[in-house]
Amino acid sequence: MMTDMQIHRLHAILVDCTRQYRLHEKIVERDVNGIHVVTHEPMPRASEAPPEHTVVDCTLLKVGVHREKAEAHRAELRRLIQPMEPILNLGPSFITLGAEIGDQGAAFQLMALGQVLGFWRIVRPEDLGFTGAKAEQAAGLGYVMLAGYQREEVS
Percent of the chain scoring above 90 in pLDDT: 75
* Partner residues linked to 63 by β-bridges: 20, 56
> How far, in Å, CA of 74 to CA of 69, rounded?
9
> How far, in Å, CA of 41 to CA of 142, rounded?
21
50-78 pLDDT tens trace: 999 999 999 999 999 999 999 999 999 99
User: Which residues are CB-contacts of 143 (< 8 A; sequence separation ≥ 6)?
Assistant: 93, 123, 124, 125, 128, 130
85-115 pLDDT tens trace: 999 999 999 999 999 999 999 999 999 999 9
Residue closest to 17 by CA, chosen among 48, 62, 53, 49: 53
At 155, is the secondary structure helix, strand, or coil?
A: coil
pLDDT of residue 155: 43
23-32 pLDDT tens trace: 766 667 778 8
Helix (DSSP H) and strand (DSSP E) numbers for the chain = 7, 7
